[in-house]
Amino acid sequence: MITIRIAVGLLGCALIVTETAGAGPVDPAMVSHTCAGCHGTLGASLGDAPVIAGLPEQYFLETMLNYKTGSRYSTIMGRLAKGYSQAEIEAMARFFAAQPWTTQPQQTDPAQVERGKELHTSRACAACHGPDGTPSAPNPAIPSLSGQFAEYLVTQLEDYRDPGTAIPPAALPMRAMVQGLTDKDFRALGQFYASQQPPAANEQ
Amino acid sequence: MSDFNRRQFIKLVGGITAAGLSGLAFALPAKPKARVVVVGGGYGGATAAKYLRLFDPGVQVTLIEKARQYVSCALSNEVLAGDRTLESLTIGFDGLARHGVQVVHDEVTDIDAVKKQVKTKQGKSFAYDYLVVSPGVTFRWGDIEGYDEDATELMPHAWDAGPQTLLLKKQIRAMPDGGTLIITAPPSPYRCPPGPYERAAQVAHYLKAHKPKCKVLIMDAKSVFSKQTLFEQGWKQHYGDMITWVSSADDGQVFGVEPENGVVLTEFDEHKADVVNVIPAQKAGPIAERSGLSDESGWCPVDQRTFESTLHKGVFVIGDACIAGAMPKSAYAANSQAKVCAAMIAARVNGQAEPEPSYVNTCYSLIAPDHGISVAAVYRLKDGTIQSVQDSGGVSPTEATPQQRAREALYAHSWFRNIVGDIWT
């Protein structure tokens, strides 16, 4: 399949980018199963790579496209996202959005969880992320944090705080939100969300 | 192949249980849609077995694997460092049985591609409609003069995780401070291209703390190697001048060994070491050669769309043993190839069109406990061969902060947990 994308370059001239996405139509399962080696079968990670099963379709799509263009920093995802066409990323986004949010129990320290909960409350995180890390009403742009892996959440908070790290425009409010928080605060927040197992996570 | 999700999966199990077959996670239908035999329970074969069952529970899958437990080569260099036990790399096959895979512990000695059956050492035969062979690698004994199976007791290869890993570890532990370890690196292609260089780093990690006057010398049959810039940078950063790499262009290739004397011989020189780790040249596992699946290169040519052997129809070869275009011989590549192969077989069984293949590789190496590096690529089939997608993939950046290297170390361990979960559970 060949898709032609017209991009406007820095100098204002139109460039035609030809993208060869293979000879046949995109098979959603085929492209999505390539992720499982790092993100677990059907995206249900066993940690510390993030759970991607059940991410909102729009969030998944935007995340991958941001990795692809470099608007979101990553260690490895940028290199991988560049290998998939828009159509393939759209197929993956639908595939993973159709999976249930599947988390694993994580060892957490009660004192840290308590501290994280205080921060979650005092920083008004719940306004967007819901009382336990899951938005009260499904939001296509905001993933659930409940039960997500603590170590992964900490990396994301670090990226939000560091002004030299690329984050997408949609995440800019987070850059403001986390200023003044310490590494210790990040660990506490990570532990709090990790401890919030969504109800009946494994029975959906 | 239609979208598959856990909900449908559970529905299916529930349906069978409701039908009165409780106690069996999966009951096989009286007559399976097709019989698939998988030879080899490593990263490739075990993935193929599990995913065939996920794609179509109507397919009967029999996995034949000699070992009762699989020991992962990936991460086994951490055993040499002392940071990990061999037990933590040892995986059973119960998880596959829970997916309805029939696991048979036996060794396939003969493949009859005409009669479509395999024979085993224990005298059993298994008929198949499709055969998946994932035999891994074996060594080209004789390429290094003096290095044979007996010599591995004095100069371990440690390229199959298990007793050989522990032997090498023991020898390194017994080495005097100021001693030398020689690692001989093989010519391409071979299993785990960055493995010898990660091994040097992991051994140096142990030596730095316990015997800082020791040296590690890599004698190489190649003049370039995987993730070279990143390895050389990391070696220097953590271990100073402890590790020296000798290119084949500088007489690095080893042609002979004297196992009793700890001597390795190159074209112009000889080197004596306290411990010698010979990583021999490789080819596809024994059953491939014996059953005519490999060619004069020693590896198995396949249709890179489906992994069906070009030498024997109805037989599919995946993992290290097959010739898979631009894909390296890595655990992730085997896992990815197995899924493509399983999808193609499931499509054929159901008379559906074969889906467009998509392949991936991600490979982490650990230079120190908090210093990981990676190489990654996404592949497509183009002009009949597997090619990496242009302007994608590649290695970790040369310029990176310690925090970024630490994240890659975190993700290296995460990778192991998840790929093991994706395959054997």
pLDDT digits (tens, 9 = 90+) for B237-296: 999 999 999 999 999 999 999 999 999 999 999 999 999 999 999 999 999 999 999 999
Same domain, B272 and B290: no
How many angstroms separate the first and last alpha carbons of chain B? 22
Q: Which of B246, B280, B314 is a domain's end point?
A: B280
Q: Which of B216, B246, B280 is a domain's end point?
A: B280
Same domain, B215 and B105: no
Interface check for A47 against chain B (CB to CB < 8 A): the answer is yes
Same domain, B222 and B305: no
Please name the residues in contact with B16: beta carbons below 8 A apart, sequence gap of 6 or more. Answer: B24, B26, B27
Residue B183: phi and psi, rounded to 5, are -110, 125
Largest alpha-carbon pair distance within chain A?
Answer: 57
Identity of the residue in B6, B380, B393 whose CB atom sits nearest the CB atom of A42: B6
Find, in chain A, the residue whose alpha carbon is nearest to that of B361: A34
Same domain, B287 and B264: no
- pLDDT the model gives residue A197: 86
- pLDDT the model gives residue B33: 96
Per-chain mean pLDDT for chain B: 94
Q: Are B207 and B179 in contact (CB under 8 A)?
A: no
From residue A119, give the alpha-carbon distance in Å to each of A196, A202, B64, B133, B205: 15, 28, 54, 54, 39
Which pLDDT band, with edges at 50, 70 and 90, does A10 fall under?
Answer: very low
How big is the CA angle at A172 (ends A193 and B401), to the nearest 5 degrees?
75
Do the chains contact at B407 and A75, CB–CB below 8 Å?
Answer: yes
Q: Helix (H, G, I), strand (E, B), or coil: what is residue A68? A: helix
A window 134-163, beta carbon within 8 A of B: 151, 155, 158
Within-domain flag for B382: no
Same domain, B149 and B213: yes
Residue for token pair 């007793």: B163
Q: Express each pLDDT in B328-383 by its tens digit.
A: 999 999 999 999 999 999 999 999 999 999 999 999 999 999 999 999 999 999 99
Query: Beta-carbon neighbour count of residue B176 at 10 Å?
Result: 10
Q: Which of B280, B306, B338 is a domain's end point?
A: B280
Which pLDDT band, with edges at 50, 70 and 90, does A18 fall under?
Answer: very low
Same domain, B174 and B121: no
ipTM for the complex shown? 0.91
Within-domain flag for B423: no
Within-domain flag for B31: yes
Same domain, B270 and B288: no
- pLDDT the model gives residue B116: 97
pLDDT of residue B9 exceeding 50? no
- pLDDT the model gives residue B414: 98
Identity of the residue in B2, B358, B376 whose CB atom sits nearest the CB atom of A76: B376
Best mutation target among A15, A30, A159 (most B Cβ atoms within 10 Å) is A30
Same domain, B47 and B34: yes
Q: Express each pLDDT in A119-175 by its tens digit.
A: 999 999 999 999 999 999 989 999 999 999 999 999 999 999 999 999 999 999 999
The domain that holds B187 is classified in CATH as 3.50.50.60
Minimum distance, in Å, between the CA of residue A110 and any CA atom of chain B: 23
Which pLDDT band, with edges at 50, 70 and 90, does A24 fall under?
Answer: confident
Interface check for A87 against chain B (CB to CB < 8 A): the answer is no
Q: Express each pLDDT in A49-93 by its tens digit.
A: 999 999 999 999 999 999 999 999 999 999 999 999 999 999 999
pLDDT of residue A201 exceeding 80? no
Q: Express each pLDDT in B37-65 by its tens digit.
A: 999 999 999 999 999 999 999 999 999 99
Same domain, B276 and B289: no
B window 298-337, beta carbon within 8 A of A: 332, 335-336
Residue for token pair 């411990």: B275
Q: Are A42 and A54 in contact (CB under 8 A)?
A: no
Token pair listed for A23: 């000879």
Same domain, B153 and B221: yes
Within-domain flag for B298: yes
Element (H, E) at B7: helix B6-18
Best mutation target among A1, A19, A38 (most B Cβ atoms within 10 Å) is A38
Within-domain flag for B100: yes
Q: Which domain holds residue B290?
A: 6-138+283-355
Which pLDDT band, with edges at 50, 70 and 90, does A14 fall under?
Answer: very low
Per-chain mean pLDDT for chain A: 88
Number of domains in chain B: 2
Within-domain flag for B384: no
Which pLDDT band, with edges at 50, 70 and 90, does B22 fall under?
Answer: very low
From residue A61, give the alpha-carbon distance in Å to each of A57, A85, B194: 6, 11, 33
Q: What does the DSSP 8-state code read for residue A9?
A: -
Provide, rounded to the nearest whole percent, the portion of chain A with pLDDT above 90: 83
Do the chains contact at A20 and B382, CB–CB below 8 Å?
Answer: yes
Same domain, B225 and B273: yes
Q: Are B414 and A47 in contact (CB under 8 A)?
A: yes
Q: Express each pLDDT in B403-412 by its tens digit.
A: 999 999 999 9
Same domain, B199 and B267: yes
CA dist., res. B121 & res. B64, Å (int): 11
Q: Express each pLDDT in B368-393 by its tens digit.
A: 999 999 999 999 999 999 999 999 99
Q: Helix (H, G, I), strand (E, B), or coil: what is residue B145? A: strand
